[in-house]
Amino acid sequence: MKEDNQRLIDEALAQEPIRNTFRLSWEFLILNKQFTLTAMSMLLLLNILSQFIGLLAMVLSGILSLCVQIYLSRFIYETKSIQTFIAQTKESKFENVVAKNFYISMGAYLGNVILLIGFIFMLIFLLKSNGFDLEHFDESQLLSMVQVIAIPLFASLLLVSYIHPLVQSNVALSNSFSEAFFAVFSIFSISLWKRAFNGTYFKYISLIILLISGVALFLEILFQVPILNIIANFLLIVLMYVYIIVLSITAMIARRVVETQS
């Protein structure tokens, strides 16, 4: 990428945005190996601790992941050049990133939890309205239940995946616990959805979703193969972190797409 008066995010968007999404992700991962190894080690440790402290480990893992996302998203959105990106990436310290973004991440995490609970209640309502007795559920109802919720569940997940990068960009640019909390609910913003339905955004996000889905499918295949499933369990932690990095950059390129199309 050449250096000019554009921000790095504009250069990434103008010149092969898909390729640059993964290129910048890769550079962030390898330019500061200590940051990468520390973050991955923390996620691995919390994954192990989840066997003992359960919910607490899961919550901490989610908050730490959001700390990295918020930091990298804001950084990639504001940085002026690839040289600045390289220099600041090398200087980044995991503990500083967590300390600076912890409360903002807590707000986003709480918002996501409430959103998830609301989605679960919606599914319960859908099942009850179709005559399912959830208090006396048995296996005979399982197939019918899958048939009832499969299409709406798949459609909901697809829509959430499509709009989530823009929602994440709102979270990343939040400056407080409350801002981050309410940014999560921008998923219900009509104006946000209107801005998302343009050809450039659709093409970019669709390709990203396809690529990530392909990796997820490959990992699922590994899980089914004896011996290889041990490798897959390790890869899952690594790919979780890589996904966090890719999503951070995707969110801000997606935001820049709709900003330039407005």
The per-residue pLDDT string of the chain (262 residues; one tens digit each, 9 = 90 and over) reads 444 456 899 988 888 899 999 999 999 999 999 999 999 999 888 888 887 888 898 999 999 999 999 999 999 999 988 999 999 999 999 999 999 999 999 999 999 999 999 988 888 787 777 666 666 666 666 666 666 677 777 888 888 899 999 999 999 999 999 999 999 999 999 999 999 988 899 999 999 999 888 877 777 776 676 666 666 667 777 888 999 999 999 999 999 999 988 6
Instruction: At 95, list the tokens.
Output: 């503990």
For residue 158, tell me if it sits in a domain.
yes
Q: Please, are residues 111 and 40 in contact by the beta-carbon 8 Å criterion?
A: no
Question: How much is the pTM?
Answer: 0.87
For residue 145, tell me if it sits in a domain.
yes
Q: Which domain holds residue 181?
A: 8-261
For residue 3, tell me if it sits in a domain.
no
Query: CB 256: neighbour CB atoms within 10 A?
Result: 20
For residue 29, tell me if it sits in a domain.
yes
Look at the chain and report how many structural domains it folds into.
Answer: 1
DSSP string, 188-244: G-HHHHHHH-SHHHHHHHHHHHHHHHHHHHHHHHHHTSTTHHHHHHHHHHHHHHHHH
For residue 149, tell me if it sits in a domain.
yes
For residue 1, tell me if it sits in a domain.
no
For residue 2, tell me if it sits in a domain.
no
For residue 39, tell me if it sits in a domain.
yes
